[in-house]
A and B are shown apart, each in its own frame.
Chain A
Amino acid sequence: MSELRAGPVLDSQLYEALTNRAVVECNKWNLKAGDLPTTCRFPLVVSRRLWASLTALAESLAREALDAERELLERPELQVLLGLSPVMADCLRAAAWSDAPRYTRFDFHPTVDGFRITESNCDVAGGLLEASGVGSIYRSLTGATLTGDPAGALVEAFAARFGSGARVGLLHLSEYVDDRQVVLYLAQRFEQAGLRPVLCHPAQLLPGLRVKTNDGPRQLDALYRFVPGTWLEAQSPRTAWRALFTSERVSNPLTGLFTQSKRFPLVWPQLRTPVPTWQRLMTATESPTVQHTLRDEWVLKPAFGFEGCDVVVSRPDDMRWCRAWESPTRWAVQRRFESTPLPTPDGFRHVCLGVFVVDGRQAGGYARLSEAPLIDDAAQEAVVLEEEEAQ
């Protein structure tokens, strides 16, 4: 039996209970993925041995990324290779090293050649609500063993760094319910841990890590950011978003953009920092050329893209290739790998097993499954369980 497999299907009553409780108790609102329900009716079960192996890899990746980020901060000549916009590059040149809490998620794809990764999520990573919130409800319904509680680990990291009672801004784009649901869930967890969450939109940012509220300006002790760094420049210049780049109280620090870039592998040859785990697991990455367009083995991606958006697979006539030729530094091509689909009760599914790392330590898993070998916003989600021995 495989060390990674689909677990038993929840009966319809339990599945309804899981879905409804997730909505009401932890604000899980995106109930659909493509045409399917977002949450799979079955969990993904990982053997203890495989989980230990993947989490060790994730921790190594996080450690290497952190070291590389620290070096890149001092190497502006390499920063220009990462696909940052001029505004972002300018902001990052002014940034300083920060020891604010960091969390990331590394997504492992099972392939015929073992597990592969295509990126990190060192800037902003989704899945906390699903791994911790939906997972805890699943556990309460079935008694199963989860792989961890990444939201809990993140909250603990904030409490340890900024102290109990710290006022933490939860920065997000409030008009999008998919983002709102995440910070509302985190607000619950921050409150339970004795911290004081303040929901805020980038338009509320004031200098000195303060936010505008109906009761006047409010000082924050720290800021959790669920807005990608590359989106900040779209905000009004009248707001104080630029100050986030130099603050030591913003999580994730915006220097995480260096390793978030799909073009991060292109600076490896010039980095002094060794990144052996990345080199072993990351699919081959190059800067796009016309030759890549003509060869089916390459996938085009924006340097800073999210959820599979603007990814071009096997479509040489797609206009995004032209955009990539015009501005190759804003894009990357990655060599395709042969994803190994997993048999599930719903048929074969391509799996992406995310491992959260909070301040260097693994903190739990989050899985997405897709009929096609591309994990995008139409992928379903599954609770990840740990099993000592595959049965």
Chain B
Amino acid sequence: MNKSQALARWRTAAGHWAQFIKPSLFGSAREVTPMPPRMKFRDWDPGDSRTALVLDLPVGLGLAWAALLSHRGWCPVPMFAPTVAVDGAPECVKTQPLVALLLGGATLMPSAQAGAPVFVLDAHRRPFRWWFEFDNRSRVYVDDFPSPALFARRGINRLVVASLRDQLQPDLREVLSHYVGFELCLINPVTRSQQLFTSMDDLHGWPRRYLDYDIDGLYNPPRTHG
């Protein structure tokens, strides 16, 4: 399976969430031998059709779990967007193994689904915006996810983040703060510990929110061209 075929499989499996796929690795990386994700994990039911799931896990584990959930009607949406280095620049996130897993994961995908989304992130992301050196780790922004209105139109009012950490990563914490009125939950799929966020203060904890902001005072991707 090549990159083009794999992308088509992922887009089909993502159903009506397909536009939220981040496809940069399908475009910029070299072709590699597919490697299906075969991580072992304890099965766990993340919720019903009113739940959107965010897998903030190591890539192999996230993809393996997404593949399993896709056969239960969930729509997997891979959102890996590290920059592929050129001219031999060192990569914090090695992109070739990631592409191999994406291509391998595609072979496990079922045909079109119409369920709730499973957004699959790479937990190895950039905590801050560094201006002065090449860092190929990505971040997520609120613009990357469906708006609260779209979730609501599709009957989703609960967001569950699965992570091996005890707390949300800063970029994801900022994203979730935009989903006012949603039930927000952080779950560790290994220990099964759960945190429920009932208010924005729960989510951030003062002054954490302000410390998380970038040096330019923004927490959004820049608008760099007209």
Contact = CB atoms under 8 A, between A and B. Distances in A.
Contacts, number: 131
Contacts of B133: 203
Given A124-B224, A178-B221, A309-B223, A32 B20 contact: yes
B146 A236 contact: no
Contact of B222 (A26, A36, A176, A180): A176
A253 B197 CA distance: 50
A29 B23 contact: yes
Contact of B226 (A36, A125, A198): A125
Contact of A16 (B8, B28, B222): B8
A213 B90 CA distance: 11
A199 B134 CA distance: 12
A234 to B, nearest CB: 6
Contacts of B20: 31-32
A306 to B, nearest CB: 4
A178 B220 CA distance: 13
Size class of A's contact patch?
35 or more
Contact of B131 (A35, A125, A234): A234
A377 B4 contact: no
Interface stretch (B33-41, B81-89, B200-208): B81-89
Interface in A278-307: 305-307
A362 interface: no
A105 interface: yes
Contact of B4 (A21, A32, A36): A21
Contact of A125 (B19, B21, B136, B225): B225
A23 interface: yes
A201 B143 CA distance: 24
A13 B192 CA distance: 42
A177 B81 contact: yes
Interface of A: 16, 19-21, 23-24, 26-29, 31-32, 34-38, 105, 119, 121, 123-126, 173-182, 184, 198-199, 201, 203, 213-215, 226-228, 231, 234-236, 239, 260, 305-309, 377
Given A23-B23, A124-B225, A213-B87, 4 more contacts: A20-B7, A179-B224, A215-B87, A215-B88
14 contacts: A24-B4, A24-B26, A37-B18, A105-B226, A175-B136, A176-B224, A179-B225, A203-B132, A203-B133, A203-B134, A234-B131, A235-B132, A306-B225, A306-B226
Interface of B: 3-4, 7-8, 11, 18-24, 26-28, 81, 83, 86-89, 126, 129-136, 138, 143, 146-147, 149-150, 216, 221-226
